[in-house]
Amino acid sequence: METFGARLRTALDTRGPLCAGIDPHASLLAQWGLDDDVAGLEQFSYTVVEALADRVAVLKPQSAFFERFGSRGIAVLERVVADARSAGAVVIMDAKRGDIGSTVAAYADAYLDPASPLFSDALTASPYLGFGSLEPLYALAEKNGAGVFVLGLTSNPEGAQVQSAVGASGRSVAEEMVMAAAERNAGASPMGPIGVVVGGTVATPDFDLGRLNGPYLVPGIGAQGATAADVRRIFGAGARNVVPSSSREILREGPSVAGLRNAAARTVEELAGMLD
């Protein structure tokens, strides 16, 4: 079975360094001239998949924007995941799940078990009940060739209250998360299945990000102000394992399929030139 790290590496190398978000929030639906209902959700989401799934490395649906429509929204999300993966895109489910015990095991079954209609290549998760609290996610991901991206350094100002806090070890919580993920990834090739989310607009960390031996998911490229230069600033020589993520910068070019494709291509070109 091909590992998540190998599958992601191939996708980035062949399609370019880009994760395109699928974020059907109300303002974007309106911008596309769509109603804020399930029909609008369907048209928006399926158009993005049609435009990008056969050419970008990664697609990242934001689960919350589908969940708000209840079971009908989840049905749309299931099709988005299946169609995107069928077209060759790596799918990261952006759900930021986090809990303990049997609840985390149930989340693992929902997103990281191939028998589930929501099975994705990877899942975002919150480790702030302790990195080890997500063990059922890690274990099932490794078993099924999937991945997990834990929140590390996020761009929201509230995040620093927890992520920058320094523990008894003298290291920040964010650094501890990177170290724990690196330990889990030890020995993996070309990179391990446990990634870390680092916002593209954060200050340059004062600890070594290169030790991870895994992927970094970097949201905020484009509309949120982060650039390819920020990726290089934050990650330096480790930028090759970065998965830069852009949502609004690309999605605002819809509903034109050609517009979406052109926006994605421009972003890939800019990022590839900086990250080589």
Q: How far is CA 60 from CA 31, 49, 50, 247, in A?
A: 20, 11, 14, 9
Residues catalogued as catalytic = 96
Alpha helices by DSSP H, listed for 16-116, are 26-31, 38-52, 64-67, 70-86, 101-112
Cβ atoms within 10 Å, residue 14:
9
**Joined tokens for residue 221:** 């490229």
Identify the bridge partners of residue 125 per DSSP, sorted by sequence position.
97, 150
Contact 20, 59 (CB under 8 A): yes
* DSSP letter assigned to residue 169: T
3-state secondary structure of 64: helix
Neighbouring C-alpha atoms within 13 Å toward the C-beta of 99: 10
Question: What span, in angstroms and rounded, lies between the C-alpha atoms of 169 and 173?
Answer: 10
Contact 44, 32 (CB under 8 A): yes
Question: What span, in angstroms and rounded, lies between the C-alpha atoms of 118 and 79?
Answer: 9
